[in-house]
Structure 1
Amino acid sequence: MSEIIAKVDETVSKYNLLSKGDSVTVGVSGGADSMFLLNYLISRKDEYELKIIVANVEHGIRGQESVDDTEFVRDYCAENDIEFHSISINAVEEAKNAGIGVEEYSRQRRYEFFESFSTDKIATAHNLSDNVETFLFRLARGTSLKGLASIPCVRGNIIRPLINVSSDEIRQYCGENSIPYRIDSTHLNDEYTRNKIRHNIVPKFEEINPCFESCVSRLIGMIDCENNYMLSMSKDYFDEYFDGERLNIKSLKNMHEAIAKRVIVILFEKYFLPYDDFHINEVYKLLHKIGKYQIKGDCFAISDNDTLRIAKLNKTADLSKMVVNKKTVSKEEFLTNSELLHKQFAFYCDCDKINGNVIVRYRQQGDEITLSKRNCTKSLKKLFNEYKIPIENRDKTFVICDDCGVIGVYNYCVDRRVEVDNDTKNLLLIEIS
């Protein structure tokens, strides 16, 4: 057995990529990598009792050359009695209409096609060299530790048996064992970033260290191992402290930043929200204060009462639609009228201490209130924090004012200036519905 086949067998065994009776969709372009993968799976077909389906996507980029590649794969499958399927797309035009890059659009369409067969596994020919190129590309563009882990050997039902063998090893094996393959002319064009890395960057590193690809592969393995450990810790915390709506952050705020941010990522993913470093950093700040952060549109991350949650904050209701019932009564009537006495009014004050008109509105910047029991003046923002009013309700909490300022917060408190005392003669009672 050749060394490269032994490597692939070891990867398949270590990660349990194949099981007996598996149906496998193989993405085959006709290049050396995918033809080697197909040849390998055919060689293991009887051992694993595999059902192999070959899926080919003709991207419409290279004209007749691309069409010829598809026919080449079709003929090879016919010769080896392998089920073959193909689709043709206009990648450039369709990507433009979709508003994304050609490479990303093509990748999405390929996987959509592969998944359409509903097989147990989808096998792609990503190899060691691809992984190194992805590592360097993401390193140059900026990424997370998870991003540097690059291309996983297995993700869901997608398997990559060649992830530990290089492109050079694959081409050498194909040559020595008469495995035919096609050469994609776009792979020679350095206008594509990946080709630029392959042709210009990697060779420079190999001048310093001929085993550069193997060294990067080991580094990727270490990153992946440590990232998986931290991810596992983060998931354990999330599962224990997320109640389906709120995440208890009392302990999280004291945990290492790396774990805390991963827990936040899990929360974003729970709600299928897009995120980047900026989003995560802003929400991380909320662990140590009461506040909110707008993620997108009306969707906010909200921190209060040692909890973090994702919620939609709707626009404040139209005050003109509120019904405000105001009633002025004497103190004697209030104390002797059993109906009034036993009714729980959300707001009442000394009517004679009011200056000018009484209005009901929502809070505004600079609003303050003085409470006699506290003997201090504080902003409504601080008061709402103390009363632990949910953030999504704060802009919908009624504030009652006269011509001199705030006289109370409906359902919560009254300003010392207008509170009822022993000298009060008349009361203003307010109900809002």
Structure 2
Amino acid sequence: MLDNALALIDEYAMLPAGGTVLCAVSGGADSLCLLHFLRALAEERGFTLHAAHFDHRLRGEESTADAAFVENRCEMWKIPFHLGSGDVAEAARREGTGIEETARALRYAFLEEIAETIGADVIATAHNASDNVETVLLHLIRGAGLQGLTGIPPRRGHLVRPLLTTTREEIESYLKERDLDWREDSSNADDAHARNYLRLQLLPRMEELNPRFLSGMERTIRLLRQDNDFLNAQAAQVAALGRWAEDDLVIEARHIASAPAAIAPRAVRTLLSMLGNGSTDYASTHLEAVVDLARGDDPSAMVFLPGGLMAQRVYGELLLTTRRDPQVLLPCPLELDGETWPEGSLYGCSCRRCVCPEEPEPGVMYFSEFTGTPVLRPRQTGDALKLPGRDTKTLKKRFIDQKIHRRDRERCPVLADEAGILAAAPFGPEESRLARPGQDAWAVTFRSRSTSTTTERKEHDYAGT
């Protein structure tokens, strides 16, 4: 067994007993090792295991073969399997973003969608100790503070990385001992990419100088992470002095201004993550600019930040808010036999007549009837939703829990009729309005604008077959 992985799993409570774990599987050695390892632990530790693979469509037949390989392995091991795909190159061209950045965004959006659908408690990815060292070296080359030198976190929210202290060599030994083959991504041999250059050229030289270089770096990263966690905890105490004013955050400028140099930028990062979608990806120049704003004398100065955010002095207070007026969804009636795309909405809605099946299609909601004309509209104060098998929550609370940026909340449609709410994107249906199997029903599906033309999903459940 992988002792380092077991220790890390226990340290960060990565595998919830009685819960569900979604494992991201590319087909490479790392993810196949993780899937096999988790499969061995599932019965012992009492959790349910699912697997998900995302085809980026970047390597033609090779990408298709990777997906088929993972699907076949899941069928052999009787692991429920979820497949998604997206045209990364087209999405990158359309959005004006890099291929790697776009691939990661589509992949994680797919994983989050599947996790929400199956009720997964955690999403497990196969980043390993070698990946972590490469990440730290890349940050060091580009310039980084302590946060950047702590590498990849073992756990961030419901994202867990059980193999983060396991080396690539240990992973391959694990697979070879069990006669397990894996897929090789041909693009990993191209050292024109910075990470591949580090892996193929630099790290072997470092290990010539010190054969224990990787394990030494792993210890260093762990020590730096401990220091960083302590500083972040101190910063969180400062950030806790802020207060919400509607959808904005306000804190007395003196709390930031008087904080030590190691704490003040971290407190600003914490506040910005609360205001936005949970992202902490802000450059030190952005954070220091906000600290300077708090320490300055101009009572109305402002700083513009990434992601449409801004910081503004309002006399003795520091206001964190958005700098653009949000787009607003315009209400419109639901097309009962076709698709509806409301102006300003992030989601469209398809609707068709059917009989509610015994086994509902993933992502499809079945409603027994509509009272009056159903409409797609923005959320309203007091809107609440009881998802199947879950507690009733206001939509505001659900948006906050899902870390959906407040600018996007008014663009997520609510499907309602004269009897009340039927469903809300991106969450799902109101339990009390669902049809029973065998009833005449309306089949309704929400479709995201960002993925409707680039992402398709196929699902198989091989459990018990």
Q: Which TM-score band applies after superposition, normalised by the shorter structure?
A: 0.5 to 0.7
Shift of the alpha carbon at 1:176?
Answer: 1.6
Partner of 1:216: 217
Partner of 2:318: 308
Conserved 8 A contact 1:189-1:195: yes
TM-score, L = length of structure 2:
0.63
Q: Give, in whole Å, the separation in 2 of the partners of 1:9 and 1:195.
A: 28
Are positions 1:122 and 2:131 aligned together? no
**Aligned residue pairs, count:** 311
Letter in 1 for 2:302: Y
Shift of the alpha carbon at 1:105?
Answer: 1.1
Partner of 2:11: 14
Are positions 1:71 and 2:81 aligned together? no
Q: Give, in whole Å, the separation in 2 of the partners of 1:122 and 1:141.
A: 29
TM-score, L = length of structure 1:
0.67
Q: Give, in whole Å, the separation in 1 of the partners of 2:76 and 2:314.
A: 66
Partner of 1:260: 264
Distance 1:221 1:89, change over 3 A: same
Distance 1:258 1:179, change over 3 A: same
Deviating above 6 A after TM superposition, structure 1's stretches of 4 or more consecutive aligned residues are none
Return the match for 1:286 from 274, 282, 293. 293
Partner of 1:183: 184
SS of 1:60 mapped into structure 2: coil
Return the match for 1:48 from 40, 45, 57. 45
SS of 1:44 mapped into structure 2: helix
Q: Give, in whole Å, the separation in 2 of the partners of 1:313 and 1:112.
A: 25
Q: Give, in whole Å, the separation in 2 of the partners of 1:313 and 1:121.
A: 34
Runs (5+) with no aligned partner, structure 2: 325-465
**Structure of higher RCO (CA pairs closer than 8 Å, 6+ residues apart):** 2
Q: Give, in whole Å, the separation in 1 of the partners of 2:160 and 2:138.
A: 22
What is the aligned-residue identity percentage? 32
Partner of 2:425: none
Q: Give, in whole Å, the separation in 2 of the partners of 1:202 and 1:112.
A: 32
Q: Give, in whole Å, the separation in 1 of the partners of 2:129 and 2:123.
A: 18
Distance 1:296 1:52, change over 3 A: closer
Letter in 1 for 2:260: H
Conserved 8 A contact 1:282-1:293: no
Letter in 2 for 1:20: A
Shift of the alpha carbon at 1:296?
Answer: 5.5
Letter in 1 for 2:48: K
Runs (5+) with no aligned partner, structure 1: 315-433
Deviates more, 1:145-154 or 1:277-286: 277-286
**Higher Rg of the two aligned structures:** 1
Q: Give, in whole Å, the separation in 2 of the partners of 1:49 and 1:235.
A: 34
Are positions 1:62 and 2:59 aligned together? yes
Distance 1:170 1:271, change over 3 A: same
Distance 1:47 1:107, change over 3 A: same
Distance 1:300 1:87, change over 3 A: closer
Shift of the alpha carbon at 1:179?
Answer: 1.5
Shift of the alpha carbon at 1:133?
Answer: 0.8
The alignment yields a C-alpha RMSD, in angstroms, of 2.3
SS of 1:258 mapped into structure 2: coil
Letter in 2 for 1:238: A
Q: Higher helix proportion, which one?
A: 1
Conserved 8 A contact 2:241-2:251: no
SS of 1:169 mapped into structure 2: helix
Q: Give, in whole Å, the separation in 2 of the partners of 1:272 and 1:103.
A: 23
Q: Give, in whole Å, the separation in 2 of the partners of 1:34 and 1:105.
A: 20
Letter in 2 for 1:309: L
Partner of 1:320: none
Shift of the alpha carbon at 1:212?
Answer: 1.1
Distance 1:82 1:301, change over 3 A: closer
